[in-house]
Structure formats: C-alpha cells, structure tokens
Amino acid sequence: MTDMASRLDKVIDDAIAAGRIVGTVTMVARNGELVYARATGHADREAGRRMERDAIFRLASLSKPIVAAAALVLVDHGTLDLDRPATDWLPDFRPRLMDGFTPDITIRQLLTHTAGLGYATAEPDDPYRDARVSDGLEQPGLGMEEELRRIVSAPLYFAPGTGWRYSVAIDVLGAIIAEAQRKSLGEVIAERVTVPLAMVDTAFSVTDRNRLAVAYADAESGPVRMGDPHTLTIDPGKGLTFCPSRIFDPRSFQSGGTGMAGTAPDFLRLLETIRTGGAPILKAETVDAALANQVGALREDEAPGAGFGYLSAVFTDPDKAEAPYSVGTARWGGLYGHSWFIDRAADLSVVCLSNTAAEGCLGRYPGDIASAVYG
C-alpha cells in the first residue's frame, strides 16, 4: 500500500504543481479498509483556504448513481417497475420521434441512457439547445414542470432501446421518483439512500457553506475561478455553461443528473455499499444487475470495451478500452472535476473529487489516478 500511496501522492502533487488542479480529495478503500485518504491544494485559492477531507463539492454527475440507487430501491420494494413506461407516473411525458410517433420510454431505458433523450449541444439546429433544455448545471430558478415541458418539445434522437446517448434521463427519472412517492426527490433520496448510509453532507443543498469548495475551470493560463454563469470550452465548438450559484436557488428543479452536493467520505460509503452487495438499501441481485452491462454493444462505437449498467459505464474489455481496470469495473465522473470507480474483482472503491472542471473529470487526471492505484 505504501507504493500505491507514493504513486498517488506523485500524481496529485504533479497535477497541483502544474496548475491543472486547484484542490482535491482522494480516497481508496480495499477489502473494506480505507487504505488512502488525502486532501490537498485549495478549497478557495484566493482566500488561502486549504482543502480538507470533509470539503463539500458540487457533485455534477456523481448525483446520477445516487438517484439511480434510490430508483432501484423503489424497484426492490415494488413501487417502480423497470419495464413500465414513464407515463405511468408522468402522463404528459410523451416526447416524439422525428416522424411524429410517440413511443413508450421505460424506467430501464432511463437508467441506461437508451431512451432517445439527450443533452443540449452546440451543434447547428440541435433541438435540445433550441428548446433550452437544462442539463442541471445552469439556468438557476428553472422548475421541473417547465424542464419536462422543454424536453417533451424536442424530438427524440432515436427510438428508445435502439441507441445510447448520455442524457437528461436521470432528471426525468428523478421526477418519476418524486411523483411515485408523493414527496420531493430530495426527501426520497434522504429516506432511501443518504440517511441509511450516513451520507450526512449529501443533498440538493449545501449543508455547510464554510466547507464548500470554490468551483474553478480550465483556462490557458491555469484554472480560473468560475463566474456565474461560466462557459467552458470542452472541445472545439463544444461548450458547457456552469452556474455555481444554482445550488443555492430553491426554485431550481432538483436535478437527479447533476444537482447534488456532497463529500468524498459520503460518496465512498455509497461505493462501498454497492461493492459489497447493496445492504442495507439494495438487494444483492439488484446490485449485480446494476453493475452488469445492460446495453449490449450500443456504446461500442463511442466507447470501445465499455457498456453501461444502471449506475455508470461498465468495462467489458479493459484492454480494448486501454484502461487498467478489471472486467466488470464500474466507472463514471462529474464535470465539476470528479471521478470514481468500483472494481469488485480487486475489492477496490476509489473516489477522487476536485474543484477543477473539466480536468478533474475529462482531462489526464482521472486516468493518472487510476494508473497510480493499480501500479
């Protein structure tokens, strides 16, 4: 473990010294034991506030497995059915194909991003951009009713079940969860996931603003403090808009896809719960299904060697993916600067939160962390 710690220390120190990451919290559990935990860099660079292990981060897409887990709890209890249409709970949720046909969209298709939904892009005539569909990172004050109306107004990208596209599906799933339980999504998440797992700082609000990490964004001269809004170019012609203040606006819909805040210790509790079979919140067979590839070869063109389960990507051929993971490893990230993975074959759960978008999620950093873990 000393060798792994040394490798991780070097990756983290090099990223901070090079100005690619402002601050980070990294935690590794092996065989149920915490074998590495380090907080370093700055939570607020301008104020000189150092990063602490219990720092709170805007989770972005780390919200997705939390909300997906809550949905699976309701499936286990018979409240939701994976193969029932979304309209059983949201009667007006009837997006159409380009030819005008209105297909059913199931809970299973929402969980696996095979529903035909999408995220807005900068592509010419993108229907989600034209409809001003939110990805849950921006547009503070936008309510769920209006968000669902906008999604329905845009045509589906493909017939449900015939393709894979990362999407607002978990936002729709969150609305279904709330409707099924007649409570807010946040209340259901608390009852079904975060309270049972003692995830005390994970919510659709910030439990302690004094511990909140400032959001930074990549720039040519090094990470810059995000404005509000802040547009970040990910690829040529492709930009994302962040509004860090969104999480403070109670009018904003509770985005199951990107809207939560939380800490590394909290998230590691969720990962370890999943890795060890799901108790006390999920049945073991439900976890096995969640960590299995549920989409066949639908992601092969986009992500060779990786499918998708109910929580995240699942590696079916790590060699083809040029990744160090074991077969069956689940992995995903969050655009505010995060990555995580569960490798049940190696008894590993790893979470790495940073406050630097998008290097901490889409840059070299997550891959360097994973390589350091495996050696």
**Closest CA relative to residue 327, chosen from 293, 282, 289, 364:** 293
φ and ψ of 195, to 5 deg = -70, -50
Residues 109, 157: Cα–Cα separation, whole Å: 14
Task: Report how far residue 61's alpha carbon sits from residue 250's, in angstroms, rounded to the nearest whole number.
Answer: 19
Q: Report the alpha-carbon distance of residue 314 to residue 305 in Å, rounded.
A: 9
> Which candidate in 61, 167, 255, 339 is catalytic?
61
As beta bridge partners, residue 36 has 28
The backbone torsions φ and ψ at residue 75, rounded to the nearest 5 degrees and listed phi first, read: -65, -45
Within 8 A by CB and 6+ apart from 255, the residues are 63, 134, 135, 136, 137, 171, 174, 204
In terms of DSSP bridges, do strands 57-58 and 230-235 run parallel, antiparallel, or are they unpaired? Answer: unpaired
Pairing of strands 261-262, 238-242: unpaired
CB 243 within 8 A of CB 138: yes
61 is catalytic: yes
CA distance 236 to 244: 23
Q: CB–CB of 249/141 below 8 Å?
A: yes
The catalytic site residues sit at: 61
